[in-house]
Amino acid sequence: MSDYTKKIISEVKAKNPSEPEFHQAVEEVLESLDIVLERHPEYRSARILERMIEPERIIIFRVPWMDDQGEVHVNRGYRIEMNSAIGPYKGGLRFHPSVTLGILKFLAFEQVFKNSLTTLPMGGGKGGSDFDPKGKSDNEVMRFCQSFMTELYRHIGPDTDVPAGDIGVGAREIGYLFGQYKRLKNEFTGVLTGKGLNWGGSLIRPEATGFGAVYFAQEMLKTRGQDFAGKNVAVSGFGNVAWGAVIKINELGGKVLTLSGPDGFIYDKDGVSGEKIDYMLKLRASALDAVEPYAKQFKAEFFPGKRPWSVKVDVAMPCATQNELDGNDAKELVKNGCICVCEGANMPTTIEGFKIFNDAKILYSPGKASNAGGVATSGLEMTQNSMRLPWIREEVDKRLQQIMKNIHDTCVQTAERFGTPGNYVNGANIAGFLKVADAMLDQGLV
Ligand code: NDP
Ligand code: 2IT
């Protein structure tokens, strides 16, 4: 790393203490950018990096709500409007008790590069709350969402900032949030994505992140003359992204051996397929926070408190949450002959884990490239909303496949152009950066 990027990282740490995930995301990107800054001194003199690590705007607000017993609760709501150089702020909302400013800043920072890679005109943002949906009734979730939107509505809009789902925010929450926005603004617009099909949502959006990640993995495997047929796959998580990935892996002839939750992981030697995939949806909807019931229901093995990376597989797809795969997990995967790690979650692998994959020269893609199918399909939902014309399933899926292939090829070509062939992390960071940096140069000192 150059003295210049090192200095920026130490400034980020000094200025934003207690935000380790944000530091990690910045460090990972900056490690890729030295070579770009060497070739393009104009980015350095325009202080592009210093500007990109500072959000354009952060909104933090109180979210009071009442539970079913009449007790009052107060949560904290956030929206990070990170970068609007190439389009309106775009990115999901996360409701999880672990949410902090630092977590949302890391996600918003990643989102800027990811959205740039999609080829669609979207800036980067992220938001959410430390609200815990676990064990809450529908009515409680609705009251929380209405209170959250009662503040957020004045900061967002279809041409300003377009939120969507993330951990803990799915179709139900988007529905309550949209209803409240419409009521406050008296406008029916595409202000959120991930909407219901009857009221402006896009076909394939629920499946898009998982499908997209598998399309990306397929492209990576192709570079080594391989495909999913007959491959054993470890998937982590059991939420929206994991669900879409499991469907598509099965369609392509792969076998999913694991799923995981905060309680541990399940190992299903017969593969997660058919009705077992539908069961994942029930498991999520039950808000139990646990994957163990799967083992009981389908006679699979359950490993409490463990992560699925010790299982012998050909392909690993982390689809749960950040930092769920560390250096030891990476060593274990490589030792067991894993040839491809494709991230569905955001930043699930630690920097140490990445270095081990990179040294072992196995195929490894960072989430900002391989999970971009979710936000890309959100972009397609925005297009359909603007046209007031829905596309058929095949049209959306075809575009999603094309976008994932484009992102893959862009990563490969950019990594090569900057002297690190096969390094998808460098490819994604550099390609994502260049488009935003050039737009910022074009637009002057903003
Ligand atoms: P869901 O809420 O549908 O599922 C999240 C999964 O991760 C659940 O299995 C959840 O279990 C588990 N999980 C969440 N937090 C933790 C934690 N601290 N420790 C262990 N497990 C945890 O979310 P998604 O599937 O939408 O999101 C999964 C990942 O994919 C996230 O990293 C998200 O940022 C990323 N992503 C999502 C996109 C989308 O369109 N939805 C797009 C691109 C990326 P539980 O909730 O029971 O704790
Ligand atoms: O991390 C992500 O890309 C998402 N949660 C999806 C964001 C979106 O706007 O669809």
Question: To test the ligand 1 pocket, which listed residue (167, 202, 214) has its Cβ within 8 A of the most ligand atoms?
Answer: 167
443 is a domain residue: no
Give the DSSP letter of residue 198.
G
Q: Is the CB of 123 under 6 A from ligand 1?
A: no
Of 312, 190, 174, 170, nearest in space to 244 by CA: 170
What are the CA-CA distances from residue 232 to residues 99, 220, 285, 328, 343 (Å)? Answer: 33, 16, 27, 21, 16
Residues 350-390: tens digit of each pLDDT: 999 999 999 999 999 999 999 999 999 999 999 999 999 99
Query: 126, 248, 255, 276: which is the annotated catalytic residue?
Result: 126
Ligand 1 atom showing the smallest separation from residue 260 Cα = 9
The span from the CA of 120 to the CA of 159, in Å, is 14
332 close to ligand 1 (CB < 6 Angstrom) = no
- 177 and 218 assigned to the same domain: no
For the chain, the first-to-last Cα distance in angstroms comes to: 27
- Give domain status of residue 77, yes or no: yes
What is residue 169's three-state secondary structure? strand
Q: Which residue range forms the structural domain that includes residue 74?
A: 55-188
Would you say residue 183 lies in a domain? yes
| Burial class, 76, CB count within 10 angstroms (exposed 0-12 / middle 13-18 / buried 19+) | middle
Mean per-residue pLDDT of the chain: 97
Would you state the torsion angle of the CA atoms of residues 109, 111, 114, 118, taken in this order, to the nearest 10 degrees? -140
Mean pLDDT value of segment 84-105 = 98
Backbone angles phi, psi at 91, to 5 degrees: 165, 165
Domain boundary among 159, 188, 217: 188
Are residues 230 and 184 part of one domain? no
Residue 378 alpha carbon, nearest atom of ligand 2: 10
Give percent above pLDDT 70 in the chain. 100
**Whether residue 126 lies in the annotated active site:** yes
Pick the residue whose CA is nearest to atom 19 on ligand 1.
262
Q: How does residue 289 score in pLDDT terms, banded at 50, 70 and 90?
A: confident
Query: Which residue, by CA, sits nearest to atom 42 of ligand 1?
Result: 374
* Protein residue with least CA distance to atom 46, ligand 1: 289
Distance (angstroms) between ligand 1 centre and the Cα of 42 equals: 38
Q: Which atom of ligand 1 is nearest to the CA of 243?
A: 25
Closest CA to 322 of 82, 23, 6, 112: 23
Residue 349 lies in a domain: yes
Ligand 2 atom closest to Cα of residue 115: 3
Q: What is the CATH number of the domain that holds 111?
A: 3.40.50.10860
Q: Is the CB of 193 under 6 A from ligand 2?
A: yes
Q: Which residue has the higher pLDDT, 289 or 18?
A: 18
Residue 22: its pLDDT value, please? 98
**Closest alpha carbon to 433 in 3, 5, 6:** 5
Same domain assignment for residues 156 and 78: yes
- Please report which confidence band the pLDDT of residue 287 belongs to, taking 50, 70 and 90 as the band edges: confident
- Looking at residue 285, its pLDDT comes to 86
pTM of the full predicted structure? 0.97
In this predicted structure, the answer to whether residue 306 has a pLDDT above a threshold of 90 is: yes
Alpha-carbon span 24 to 35, nearest angstrom: 19
Q: Does residue 218 have its Cβ closer than 6 Å to ligand 2?
A: no
Q: How many CB atoms lie within 10 A of CB 303?
A: 18
The reply to whether 280 falls in a domain is yes
CATH code of the domain covering residue 216: 3.40.50.720
**Residue 445 CB neighbour total at 10 angstroms:** 8
Domain count, the chain: 2
Confirm whether 83 is domain-assigned.
yes
Query: Which residue out of 106, 166, 347 has the highest number of ligand 2 atoms within 8 Å of its CB and is therefore the one to mutate?
Result: 166
Ligand 1 centroid, distance to 194 Cα (angstroms): 15
